[in-house]
Structure 1
Amino acid sequence: MTNSFIKPLFLASGLLFYTALGFAQDNLVNSLKNNQSANSTAGFKFTEVINLENTPVQNQGSSGTCWSYSTNSFLESEMIRMGKQPVALSQIFSARNAYVEKGISYVRMHGAVTLGDGGALHDVINMYRKYGAVPQLNYTGLNYGTKNNKFAEMAAITTGMLEAVVKNPNGTLTPNWEKAYAGMIDSYLGTVPEKFDYKGKSYTPQSFAKQVVGINPDDYAELSSFNDHPFYSKFTLMVPDNWSFDQVSNVPVNELTEIIDNALKKGYSVSWATDVSEKYFSYKNGVAYVPTKPVEEMNAEETAALFAEPKPEMEITQENRQAAFDNYQTTDDHGMHIVGLAKDQNGREYYIVKNSWGVTNDYKGYLYVTKNYVKYKTTAILLHKGGIPSAISRKLGL
């Protein structure tokens, strides 16, 4: 990867849910690739409204690291917004440190925390705050000859190791288990460099984060929308991969898109956690929307034409959004990066979304996602506080 950035011509992710055996990502991606129409690009005519500069699309491979790819992509765009030359940041550096912290949490919680390599948007900010950042070239995570991430074996072994620690066979935990656990991760991903050179100067991860990347972790906020908590207050996001029990700010559903719109207009991109398991999300076609008719009630002809052209959408309310989450129809299974806004030939607005599954779909790794889909399926967004409308910011006390 290079440090250059591009302004995408078209319209973020790995699974936030990822099993210890590592199969969930591959199975979902394969199913999404089969969920398509042949003539999507002919039926949809998109016109860009906002298209923020961002770094090249990457491929997370067989790993549940979408949260790290999407939010590191977001940080790279933050560097561009601040007038800096963006650096391709190591997503696996963030992930490696989160795995270490998650393992400690798992043992302290007696095994009552989700394992695997899934995570949340705030994990990248938290790891940045504690550990700093490293260029991707200095820490690829490809430590044993693979060209792309392949984490299933590591996940299975580290899970077994932590389960053994929790069983506490000695009766008292040794002082060595954390070192042994981190060493097991590093044997797969590589040892983190204590120092490295970048453009002729030596850095530590902490000094690189401060002097080159230059973001302030305190400048960022994570938000969601659920009606079982008071609006404009903070609550613990109850999803399995929130292993750190971070809190997010709660806003009404219509304000989610109001916030994203305001951010994009002011030049701020948005890191986005969502559900992509529905048949009306097509990675291959690069389109996601919410049809008025449930897919399970469609006949074969209707299903085949899901992405043939723009179609009417279901109205999204606070109530049906909440019901989808409560019924497990909406889960935190993917993270992506919102980088722009577009309209189709009928004037409907779509967010331009950067994914991390490579460039194999119809829009070279980008997707067009309707605002209704974002309202319905978002589990969280993360952005610079400066992108939040001032009236909403005041209500949130930011």
Structure 2
Amino acid sequence: MKKIHLCIPIYMPLPLLLLLFLSGCSRRKAVAPPAPVPQFSFIIDALYPTSPVANQGHTSNCWAYSMASFIETENVLRSLPDDTLQFQLLPPEYMVRQKLQAQFDLSLCSGKVKLTSGALGHTALDVFRYQGAIPIEVFTENHATCPDYIKVSRRLRLLAHTSSWLPAMKNRIRRSGQHLLDEEFGILPDTFLYQGRQYTSQTFAASLPALSQEYIELTSFCHYLYYNPCHLALRDNWEDAIFYNLPLDSLLTVMRNALLSGYTLVWDGDVSEPTFSSRGGVAWLPPGTPLDEAARLDAFFRGETTDDHMMHLVGLAHDVSGARFSSPRTLSVL
């Protein structure tokens, strides 16, 4: 039986969060003025090795960068003791390209345009499992410049709309979309040589330990039944993927236990609260702030709490008062 890792996106404004590297992914609400940053003194409970920090720039691709980091770290943490596996950097742009291709194809087939700027953790896992992976050295051979993501999405969206009223031209329109992706991202090789071995994208992904694991996506919303699967009505959940719903306290316990038991996880939540300071490197809840699930749900529906950034959590710490903090590493675009 495969081991199930409780490691994937959790939609909640996570309290007591130690920030090592941050950026905003897609701001969907007005950002409140920052609050004064308290002074903290941290004691590390767990901290796992991970690949070097990459820079997503001013894009909405935090999901791809965080999941590339997560998969890279999984490959090392899940390798056998006698393996010499090192961090093999996976290009987030490859995941973005494959996501855009999948969204474009779905739009052509369904007649409903689903070309969104963001995505979630399962999007990257689906790419990894079904489209494979390639090392960043191979990808950059045909990818010298950063794609213009806004232009690409706009042109793919226009092509998808065109196919809805010219259905007889769908095959030609799909080829036009493929050509656009090749122009912006580079032509993907059918096979490639890496460290003396010949691979396809599928065989390269199959050679990495992360592909042999199973993962689950968790969430916490009190308008869904607890301890049951649910559909999260989020724009970035364009595949209508299933999440498992837990009470907030249980979700926090699962997260802490995972980080203390040799696992990392990916968290997706709100980074635009006034007590979230990227420059100060810390996010916190003021003392005495209640974790009221009903109030949190109301704030979510009003747009005050959003899912605007994804981060890879690689550690856990506490301060002198005993309050828990989690240690993310994502992209710095300050």
> Which amino acid in structure 1 is aligned with residue 58 of structure 2?
S
1:172 maps onto 2:154 in alignment: no
Aligned equivalents of 1:325, 1:290: Cα separation in 2: 17
TM-score normalised by length of structure 2: 0.84
Instruction: Note the C-alpha offset of 1:157.
Output: 2.3
Residue correspondence of structure 1 range 342-361 to structure 2 within 5 A: 342-357=317-332
Deviates more, 1:195-204 or 1:171-180: 171-180
- In the other structure, the counterpart of 2:155 is 157
Task: Report the counterpart of residue 43 of structure 1 in structure 2.
Answer: 39
The alpha-carbon deviation at position 87 of structure 1 amounts to 0.8
% identical aligned pairs: 27
Superposed CA offset, 1:28-48 (max 9, x none): 9xx79x8475xx5x8222221
- Residues 344-392 of structure 1: CA distance to partner in whole angstroms, max 9, x if unpaired? 233211101112235x5xxxxxxxxxxxxxxxxxxxxxxxxxxxxxxxx
Deviation at 1:218, TM superposition (A): 5.9
- Structure 2: 5+ residue stretches without partners: 1-17, 80-84
The 5 A counterparts of 1:57-72 are 57-72=53-68
State the match for 2:15 in structure 1: none
Give distance in 2, aligned partners of 1:343 and 1:320.
26
Residue 204 of structure 1 pairs with residue 179 of structure 2: no
Equivalent residue, structure 1, for 2:293: 318
CA distance in 2, matches of 1:326, 1:12: 28
Mapped partners of 1:112, 1:76: distance in 2: 32
The alpha-carbon distance between structure 1 residues 171 and 268, as it changes in their structure 2 partners (threshold 3 A), is closer
Any gaps of 5 or more consecutive residues in structure 1?
1-8, 18-23, 292-311, 361-398
Within 1, Cα distance between the matches of 2:119 and 2:23? 10
Question: Aligned partners of 1:130, 1:350: CA distance in 2, in Å?
Answer: 35
Match of 1:129 in 2: 129
Query: Which of 63, 70, 93 lines up with 1:74 in the alignment?
Result: 70
SS at match of 2:168: coil
Residue identity in the other structure for 1:203: Y
CA distance in 1 between partners of 2:21 and 2:292 (Å): 24
3-state secondary structure, aligned to 2:328? strand
Task: Name 1:327's counterpart in structure 2.
Answer: 302
Tell whether 2:272 aligns with 1:263: no
Larger RCO of the pair (alpha carbons < 8 Å, separation 6+): 2
* Paired residue secondary structure (1:234): strand
Checking the alignment, whether the CA contact within 8 Å between 1:225 and 1:250 is kept in structure 2 is yes
Separation of aligned partners in 1, 2:22 and 2:155: 24
Which residue pairs with 2:179 in the alignment? Answer: 183
**1:92 Cα deviation after fit:** 1.1
Say what the alpha-carbon RMSD is for the aligned residues.
2.7
Q: Structure 1 length as normaliser, TM-score? A: 0.71
Shift of 1:101: 0.7
Partner of 1:392: none
Question: Which SS does the other structure have where 1:175 is aligned?
Answer: helix
Cα displacement string for residues 47-70 of structure 1 (whole angstroms, at most 9, x for unaligned residues): 211111111111011321100111
Q: Which residue of 2 aligns with 1:284?
A: 279
Aligned to 1:90: 91
Q: 1:66 to 1:266 in 2, by over 3 A?
A: same
- Number of the residue aligned with 1:248: 243
Q: CA deviation at 1:313?
A: 4.7
Change (3 A) 1:97 1:15: farther
Distance 1:134 1:13 in 2: 26
- After the TM superposition, which parts of structure 1 deviate over 4 Å for at least 4 consecutive aligned residues? 12-17, 34-37
SS of 2:210's equivalent in the other structure is: coil
Kindly provide the amino acid, as one letter, of the partner of residue 180 in structure 2: M
Check whether the contact 1:92–1:140 (CA below 8 A) recurs between aligned residues.
Answer: no
**1:219-230 matches, cutoff 5 A:** 219-230=214-225
Q: C-alpha distance in 2, partners of 1:330/1:191?
A: 39
Aligned residue identity for 2:293: Q
Determine helix, strand or coil for the equivalent of 2:171. Answer: coil
**AA paired with 1:256?**
L
**Partners of 2:95 and 2:124 within 8 A in 1:** yes
Deviation at 1:117, TM superposition (A): 2.6
CA distance in structure 2 between the aligned counterparts of 1:116 and 1:263, rounded to whole angstroms: 31
